[in-house]
């Protein structure tokens, strides 16, 4: 092994968000912080722990707003049954426009 080309290997302290701390060998010069460790991970503890619930709630709100938007657009389309079918050159609502409208309704 060549000397002076390999990084130094030392013990560093790892601190978890749950408060547990332990030492590991690393080439890092500073202490580390982690979000989840074996002391709080559901696989090791056997307990289910919800880490993030906000995304699901936001998705459900957007989905409900989208469904509400679809319901309001459907009667308008039914009232024009005798009217001619829209031409292909007419612009249809894009996904971005639907999401923007759903966000406005959700707020």
Domain ranges of the chain: 10-45, 54-79+93-106
- For the chain, first and last CA: distance in Å? 63
Sheet with 21-26: strands ordered across? 21-26, 10-16, 32-34
Q: How far apart are CA 68 and CA 98, in angstroms?
A: 11
Residue with tokens 């696989």: 43
Output the tens digit of pLDDT for each of the chain's 107 residues.
788 888 888 999 999 988 999 999 999 889 999 988 888 887 777 776 565 667 788 888 888 888 888 888 766 655 555 555 555 555 566 777 777 777 777 66
Burial tier of 29 (Cβ tally within 10 Å: 0-12, 13-18, 19+) = exposed
Predicted TM-score (pTM) of the model is 0.39
Q: What is the CATH number of domain 10-45?
A: 4.10.80
């Amino acid at each position: 092994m060549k000397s002076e080309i390999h990084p130094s290997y030392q013990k560093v302290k790892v601190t978890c968000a749950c408060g547990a701390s332990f030492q590991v060998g690393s080439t890092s010069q500073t202490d580390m912080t982690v979000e989840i460790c074996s002391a709080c991970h559901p696989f090791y503890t056997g307990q289910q722990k919800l880490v993030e619930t906000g995304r699901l709630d936001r998705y459900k709100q957007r989905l409900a707003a989208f469904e509400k938007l679809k319901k309001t657009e459907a009667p308008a389309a039914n009232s024009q049954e005798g009217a001619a079918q829209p031409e292909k050159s007419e612009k249809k609502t894009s996904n971005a426009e639907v999401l923007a409208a759903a966000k406005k309704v959700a707020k």
